[in-house]
Amino acid sequence: MTGRIGPDGPGEPDEPDELNELATLLRGRAVVALTGAGCSTESGIPDYRGPSRPPHKRPPIQHHEFVTRHEVRKRYWARSILGWPRFSAARPNLGHLALAQLEQAGVVAGVITQNVDGLHQAAGSQRVIELHGALAQVRCQRCGARLERHALQQRLLKENAGFLERAAEVALAPDGDAELPDELVADFHVVPCAVCGGELMPDVVFFGGTVPRPVVDAAWELFDRGQVLLVLGSSLTVFSGYRFVRRAAERGVPVAIINQGPTRGDPHAAVRLDAAIGQALPSLTRALSRTSSWA
């Protein structure tokens, strides 16, 4: 069944029957949440496919291009030096906070996220599997050394003095990248790994990249603990997320979806809400608390 939570009013559903049906589906079952970019749009981080996607049509970074082409890495880091401050300043929204509350209450067993922003952890979620890594970390492609993205920012700024002042307003992308005129990229200096001099890469899985096997194994272990799969803010276009919906359907595990717009998993959904996560999850939390002792 499909319902909609509208933009008017204090987040109350237009069709409460669907929200109550979702609460009934989750109540008394171990819930595993699968989250996508739609969870973070209300924190100011746009996605590639949802209604808040940036108006530009620049494609996302491709893994093979980043690891093989210096000019691609140069452009990425030139854009990232601008996008990182705004990206790293993002804070959890009501959806992140409600999901953490549901975990603390024992409703949610854990979160499998496609996001790279760390906002679930910042909101208080304890069991989080980051399928696509985290932008807050950087690793060397040669020796594997890791460092904090904040530390790299200082090195980039020192090596490119005056760059921020020369840059105009830019549009932030979901991977911390940003729009930047070609002429500003030409003189940008990329810094190497301080350990071995190798090429640095954000510790994320770019489009076309492979999720590390230990991460996949941890995600499946968490998935196996769930009795309901709750998809939040994902179009499920990328297979790394969709495979969990497909496995749930194969096993007869109920799937519930909250997302703005259609998703690849809609045919498998027992309940579906077309809603912003920051509206829907607090409403769901209230619906669950009405018959629970944890509120």
Enumerate the domain spans of the chain: 2-289
pLDDT at 48: 61
- Of 215 and 175, which is predicted with more confidence? 215
Tell whether the model's pLDDT for residue 292 goes beyond 70.
no
**Is residue 36 predicted with pLDDT exceeding 90?**
yes
Average pLDDT, the chain: 89
Is the predicted pLDDT of residue 134 greater than 80, yes or no?
yes
Mean of pLDDT values over 102-123: 98
Alpha-carbon gap, residue 87 to 198, rounded angstroms: 25
Residue 50 is predicted with a pLDDT of 55
Give the burial string for 96-131 (b: 16+ CB within 10 Å, else e).
bbbbbbbbeeebbbbbbbbbbbbbbbebebebbbbb
pLDDT tens digits along 176-214? 555 677 888 898 999 999 999 999 999 999 999 999 999
Residues of the chain above pLDDT 90, percent: 76
Which one of 96, 120, 132, 268 is the catalytic residue? Answer: 132
**Residue 132 appears among annotated catalytic residues:** yes
Question: In the predicted model, is pLDDT for residue 98 greater than 70?
Answer: yes
Per-residue pLDDT tens over the stretch 233-286: 999 999 999 999 999 999 999 999 999 999 999 999 999 999 999 999 999 999
Res 164: pLDDT? 86
Residues 115-142, mean pLDDT to the nearest whole number: 98
Assess whether pLDDT exceeds 50 at residue 140: yes
Band (pLDDT 50/70/90 cuts) for residue 96 is very high
42-46, 104-108, 161-165, 206-210: the lowest-pLDDT one: 161-165
* Among candidate residues 234, 283, 222, 178, the one with its CA nearest the CA of residue 49: 234
Structure-token pair, residue 156: 């980039």
Could you give phi then psi for residue 39, rounded to 5 degrees? -70, -25
**How far apart, in whole angstroms, are the C-alpha atoms of residue 72 and residue 147?**
21
pLDDT at residue 12 tops 50: no
**For residue 112, what pLDDT is reported?**
99
Predicted local distance difference test score (pLDDT) of residue 179? 65
Mean pLDDT in residue range 19-23: 94
Q: Would you say residue 74 has pLDDT above 80?
A: yes
CA pair distance 114, 132, nearest whole angstrom: 6
Question: What pLDDT is recorded for position 3?
Answer: 55
Q: Are residues 135 and 176 in contact, defined by beta-carbon separation less than 8 angstroms?
A: yes
**Token pair recorded at residue 117:** 């922003």
Q: Which of 146, 134, 153 is nearest to 204 (CA)?
A: 134
Q: Which numeric CATH code is attached to 2-289?
A: 3.40.50.1220
pLDDT band, very low/low/confident/very high, at 8 (cuts 50, 70, 90)? very low
User: Which pLDDT does position 15 carry in this prediction?
Assistant: 46
More confident residue, 277 or 8: 277
Share of residues in the chain with pLDDT > 70 (%): 85
